[in-house]
Each structure stands twice: as C-alpha cells, then as structure tokens.
Chain A
Amino acid sequence: MEEKIILLVEDNPDDVTLTERALKKSHILNKLIVAKDGAEALDYIFATGNYSGRDTGIMPEVILLDLKLPKIDGLEVLKRIRSDKRTNILPVVILTSSKEENDLITGYTLGANSYIRKPVNFNQFVEAIRQLGLYWLVLNEAPPVNNRKFNG
C-alpha cells in the first residue's frame, strides 16, 4: 500500500511549523509535502519545474491549500487542479485565515471539498487539524488509484 501523502500549500513558515506541530499533536504521521507558493504546488502536482520526473502515479491523499499565496494564488491553483482530468477529483481542503464571503463562494464554486478557517487559538487549530486528518485520511474513501495515475 502506498504512503498517504499530505500536500500543504502554505507560504507562511510560522503556519507551516504550527501545522506540522498540530499534525504531530494529532498523531497524524503521514508524509507532509510543503509547497511555499501556488507555482510550486502546481509543479509538484503535475511533475513540472523542480518536480519534473516525479512519479505522478503518486498523488496526495489530500491537499491543504492556503488562498493568499505568492506567484499563483490558491483559487487559481484549485482551478487548474479541477480543470485537469488527471487531478480533477483530488480532495482539496482550503485552509486559510479569511472567511470572506467571496473566498468561500469562489472556493466552493471551483470545487473545493472543504473550507476551514485557521483559528487563532492554537488548541482550536490542533482540534481542527485532528478532525481533518481523521476524516480525509481515515474515514474518507479516496477515489480509485488508477484514476489518479498521471498516464492513466
């Protein structure tokens, strides 16, 4: 069985650290890949740029996507994921600071599977990450593997 990878798209190193800590505290030990901007995230997903040559047969179990990102923002990343048939059914959870109505609506319209606002209170954040992991990595049945194959 393949390892279940979590792709975290987050530009703020503090948030990366806190997310890692929260995952650890929630005993989620899956491999965490961090992309520091939207371009890097797309490179990883589609095995381009620095990630060219990556085995696209392996896709993240869930993508935790921040919205406000350098280079290519989160909503654009989501749009690209959803418009490519290799990735259009990948679970994407928006994890962001804002609960602006526009962000919520656009996020869901573009096909986000979930939208979570990062709480300021760390304990609440840990709880959120814990439930997230439980749901997407344990409870949720991922889409069939061959569908996620790059050349599939």
Chain B
Amino acid sequence: MPEFVRKSGIDVIGEIPWGTHFCQFYQTKQDLITTMIPYFQAGLQNNEFCMWITADKLTSEEIRQAMTKAVKGFSAYIKRGQIEIVPYSEWYLEDGSFDGKRVLVAWEEKLKWALKKGYDGLRFASNNSWLPEKDWCSFAKLGEGLNNVIGNYKMIALCAYSLDQCSAPEIIDVIRNHEFALINRSDKLEIYENSRYKNTKTALIESKKELDYLSSFPALNPMQVLEIDMTGKIKYCNDSTQKLFPDMVAKGVMHPYLVGLLEMVRTHAWGKSNYFSRIVEVNGQVHEQVIYFVAAGNTIRIYGHDISEYKQAQDLLQETGNYLNNLLDYANAPIIVWDTHYRISRFNPAFERLTGYKSRQVLGLGLDILFPEHQKIESLHQINRTLSGERWEAVEIPILRIDGQIRTVLWNSANVYDNDGKQIIATIAQGQDITERIIAEEKVNNLNEILKRRASEAEVANKELEAFSYSVSHDLRAPLRSMEGFSQALLEDCSELLSDAGKDYLKRIQSSAELMAQLIDDMLRLSRITRADMTLSKVNMSEIAQSVSTKIKNNFPKRKIKFMIAPDLIVKADKNLLSIALENLFENSVKFTGKVPRAIIEFGITEKNGQKVYYVRDNGVGFDMMYANKLFKPFQRLHTVAEFPGTGIGLASVQRIILRHGGKVWAEGKVGEGAAFYFTLD
C-alpha cells in the first residue's frame, strides 16, 4: 500500500503527508532550481506522477537539462511519461483567459488518470508569477479550492510566487492559502509555517499514524476483511482478500464471494444485533462470513474465513455418523449400548424386535429390565466383567421380552473408550437370537435319534431277514427234495403197482416241488438284491449290455436277434447290481420276442425333463398298458407259464436295483407292438 507520508525531497521540510499544499517565494532562477529539482526527484523516485507548470525564469528546456543532470535516469521518466513539464499558458489558460473552476476539475482528472496508471498520487509544482493582477482574486479562490481538493486526495502541490512581483497583501493572501511557505534568504531556505495548518498537520500525522496502526489489523489479518457501501462499491479490501480473490476489486459486489449480500443486508431482520453470518461457496471452497452493518457509514463490513477443511471434517463426521446410524438401524442383529452405570444408551430396531420394547421406553433405564428374574444376578455379573475390560465372545445371556417370553441370545461385546483410550465410556454389544436355532437343533437331534433308532431297527430287520433267508435256503428245500426224491423212488420201485393216474399224480408232486424250489430261489435272489451292499463307481452300461448280448447269443444260437446298443453310456452305479438289472431287462426282451421271426432289442438313451433316461426296447409281444403297474411286482405275470416261462421275478429285481440307485423305472407298450422299459439313475 502506498505510504501516506511522502518525502518532500526538500531538507528543511522533510516528510509531508498527502494533501500538503505549500508555496515558495523566489527571487532568482537558482532559488527555483534549489527547491524544484529535489522536489520532483523525490516524486519520481517514489512512484508519483509529476507535473511542472512553468512560467517566469525557467524554460522547459532549462528544466529538462537541470533534471537530466540531477536525476539519474531522467530520460526514462520522461519516456515513460511520469513527468510532464507544461507551460502555464497551456494549463491555466484557455483562449487566453483563466477559469478557476475548469482548472480545478483538470487537476482532479489528472489525479484520477495518474492513479489509474498505477502511480501512488500526483505531485505538482506551479509557477504562478505569470498571474496578471486582474486574475489574482479568482486565482486566490482557486488556491482555496485546491486546498479542499488536495486535502482530500493523494496530491502534493508546490506553488511558486515571485517575491519581487508580490505586494504585501498578496503575500499574506498566499501564505494564508498554503500550509507553509519557503523563502530563499541569503542562499538559505527558510520555512514560514501557517500556524492553522501546522496544528492540523501535526494532528493529522498523529491520527494518521494511529490509523495506520489500527488499519494494520484488517490489513494484516489473514482472514478476509472487506467493506462495501450500500451501492455495492468496495470501499476496503484487505491483502488476504485480494490474494484469495484477485478479481475482487474488478467484480465488486458481483463477485461470487459477495453475491446476494446487499439483498440479504436489506432484507435482514435486524434485531438487537447488528450482524449475521452466512456461508458461501466459491471455487469449491467454503467460506464463513460474519456481516456487520455499520449504520454510521451506511456500509457493510465482511469478515470471512475459509472453513473448507473444517467443513470437510464435519461432513466426514456427519457421514460417519450417518453410516453408523444406518448400520445400527438396519442391522439384523440386535445391538445395544450401555454406559458405565449400566444404563441403556442405544437400542437398535433389531433389539426392539427381539425384546418387544420400543427404544424410547428403555433409553436411560438400567440393563436389568432385560434379564429374567432368576438370571439377573448372573447376567449382571457378566456385564460387570465387560466393564473391567473383558470382551464377550459368544457369551450366552437370556433376554426377557416385554411379553414375558425368554429368548436365548449369544453376545459379542466391545468397549468404547474415551479419547485417551484409557477410560471405558460405554460398552456396545451385539446379540444373536439362537432360540429358534436351539429349537431346530433339538429337532435335528430328535430326528437324528429317530434316525439312529430306525437305522438300528433296520439293521436288526436286515439281520433277521438274513437269518430268515439262510433258514429258507437251507430248510425249505429239504422237504421238497424228499417229495421229489421219494416220488421218483416210488415211480422207479413201485411202478407196476401204480395206475397211470397214480404215476401222473406223482409227476405233478415232482413238478410242484421243483416249481417251489424255483420260487424259493427267486425269492432269495430278490432279497439278496435288497440286502447287497452298494459300491458306486463309473460303470459303462454299453459294455455290460454288449457282454449280456453276447451271452444271450450264445445261449440262443437258433434265435435271430439284432442288438442295437448305444455306445459309451457311462453312469455312476453299483456295477454288480446294474449288470443284474440289464441282464434281466435283456432276458425279458429276449423272452417276449420269442415268437417274432426277427427280434430287435435296442438299448439307448433319451431325455425327459432334462434328465437322462435309458431304455431297453423290443419288438416283441408287448403288453396292455392297463397292467403296466403290475409288471414290476414280484411274482406277478401277464402271461401263463405255458406261453412264456418264468416266475415273475426279473422286472421286480430291475425295479429294486433302480430304486436302490435313487432312480425310477417304468414301461410303455402295446399288445403286439413291443415294449419299452425306461429307467433313470439319480
């Protein structure tokens, strides 16, 4: 900021403030040079715009020469236009006549221009010795006017008067209108001060010093300090503001920092206080402003500071808070917080659901309302341990609901410490209601018990079945052998005693005995399929089918049978059992194609509802679908033994094997049009 106190350049004067208007009474050219040269030298060196209005004694050319000699780099000042040397006629006179008002305005314009150019102010000197007597009066008025102008602006003026040309009244006039006067006497410069100005000046300098001191507060304040008037013009704007917003002065009240401010001030409901605050965002930074209305000057003062970081931290805190709140509110797990006095300080919705209490009912209450009476002491003891720093890990503490129901809950806890991390201030605990789980576990345990019992029952039944089959296979056949054997003995030994009918009866006894033996064997075979241990492995059904078909071809060399076997049907199954099943299916087909000239037996794969379905299809006698459900029942037959031999155990075996693999078996057919047997394997 340009200094308020300027160097006059003239030793006897020293420093002078802006607004100083003084004069010199000279007699010789040298008198003028003695004062003017250092006067302008100081101005040029201190970034002031200088203007020298010339008249008597010194020509513009002489001045230039003298200045060039005395002031280092004077030509540069000239070139830059910092100093103008103008003859009085050009400045004061227009059409040869003097107009005081016009000159006053011209000075003001010149100052404005100089400030705009970036100069600190305007310093000028004017030789007024040209003044004709008739204009003295109006010029004196100009002097008074200048005083007003200069006093209020950054202007310093030195008016030179020729001592020889001035009458005594004129000298008095001049001295009255200037703060002080310089007079060259015996080559010595003397100063005559106007006491009125002297006092004013001293006071002014003093107050200015104080003002400087005071204004250093806003000036040096790292926060933003501004003053605007009610028209929106910026009256003051401290360094930190200009640094932060270089465009502040240019944009004025339209600056985003000040946007809407005037309107706010106008419409603000001013109560007792004369200030309010607001927050504005500029360039992504957040600023807080305190706005004072200064009634005396009808101005607004703005004290602002950047709170972006604080705001960020606050937002983060808020966000974290929201996050935690959401976490607590939407957590499925019941969560509770209690303070060091065992008072409930937080109770989330899941906890409300667990207990039936509403949060507002229990906040501030002691924890003990949550415990069933008979468990209270034990539970409080557990709570006590958390406050001595212990953490719960799956600690079971039952909870008493508002409706009297008791829930079994597993708890985890953590302590919340103060900032020092030493003092526990609260404990947070999260529960898991395992009541249903315990009930479910009990159910599972019960089911397991039942299953175990059933399994051992099944084992007993299996053992009984085994004993039964053992007995059947050993004991039931012996009487049959007797029946058969002794019938044969009778036929052989006593044939002449027997009639033909008698012999026939004996043969019937024999064939019945044999049939029964067959039935017993079939029954045992079926029960073996049921009892056999299963070992699952990868089984190539196509290979099994191939070997079965080869065996069949060997067994029925006279039959014409075409086998069509799909390749690589690989499944996971018990190889022995599956072989028996395929053998039975193939033999079944062979049997029922016995009466067609060219039998075709096909083993393949198809799909039903996305599941692999295997089939054995033949072009044999087929069957009526009405009896399809009888096909797989043991000892059930659709044909007489005379038509097709057998006891009806083959397909029953197939069904048992497929069922033991978790699959399904079914048959499709039509009388005279063949049959197809389908099966799936889990």
Interface residues of A (CB under 8 A from B): 12, 14-15, 18, 21, 67-68, 96-102, 118-123, 125
Contact = CB atoms under 8 A, between A and B. Distances in A.
Contacts of A101: 528
Interface SS of B by simple majority? helix
B473 interface: yes
B481 A120 contact: yes
Given A21-B489, A101-B528, A123-B488, A118 B481 contact: yes
Interface string B452-473: 0000000000000000011001
B493 to A, nearest CB: 9
Interface of B: 469-470, 473-475, 477-478, 480-482, 484-489, 510, 513-514, 517, 524, 528
A14 B485 CA distance: 9
A14 B474 CA distance: 14
Given A97-B474, A120-B484, 17 more contacts: A12-B478, A14-B481, A15-B481, A18-B485, A68-B474, A68-B475, A96-B474, A97-B481, A98-B474, A99-B473, A100-B469, A101-B528, A102-B470, A120-B481, A120-B517, A121-B510, A123-B488
Contacts of B469: 100
Scoring B481, B510, B514 by chain A CB atoms within 10 A of each residue's CB, the highest score goes to B481
Scoring B488, B489, B513, B517 by chain A CB atoms within 10 A of each residue's CB, the highest score goes to B488
Contacts of A123: 488
Given A120-B514, A121-B514, A97 B482 contact: no
A120 B477 contact: yes
B486 A14 contact: yes
B485 A97 contact: no
Contacts of A100: 469-470, 473, 524
A15 B473 contact: no
Contacts of A99: 473
Given A118-B481, A125-B481, A97 B475 contact: yes
A14 B478 contact: yes
12 contacts: A15-B482, A18-B485, A68-B474, A68-B475, A96-B474, A97-B475, A97-B478, A99-B473, A100-B470, A120-B514, A121-B510, A125-B481
The 7 closest A-B pairs by CB, nearest first: A120-B517, A122-B488, A122-B485, A14-B482, A98-B473, A68-B474, A18-B485
A21 B489 CA distance: 9
Contacts of B524: 100
A12 B477 CA distance: 12
Contacts of A67: 474
A118 B484 CA distance: 12
Contacts of A118: 477, 481
Contacts of B488: 122-123
Nearest to B518: A120
B482 A98 contact: no
A10 to B, nearest CB: 10
Contacts of B477: 97, 118, 120
Contacts of B470: 98, 100, 102
A18 B486 CA distance: 8
B510 to A, nearest CB: 8
A122 B484 contact: yes
B485 A125 contact: yes
A120 B512 CA distance: 11
Contacts of B514: 120-121
Nearest to B470: A100
A120 B475 contact: no
Contacts of A68: 474-475
Nearest to A14: B482
A100 B470 CA distance: 7
Given A120-B484, A121-B514, A122-B488, A15 B478 contact: yes
A53 to B, nearest CB: 33
A100 B474 CA distance: 9
Nearest to B528: A101
A118 B474 CA distance: 10
A27 to B, nearest CB: 15
Scoring A68, A120, A123 by chain B CB atoms within 10 A of each residue's CB, the highest score goes to A120
Contacts of A15: 478, 481-482
Contacts of A14: 478, 481-482, 485-486
B511 to A, nearest CB: 10
A123 B514 CA distance: 12
Contacts of A96: 474
A37 B662 CA distance: 46
A139 B535 CA distance: 42
Contacts of B485: 14, 18, 21, 122, 125
B482 A18 contact: yes
Contacts of A119: 481
A101 B489 CA distance: 32
Nearest to B477: A97
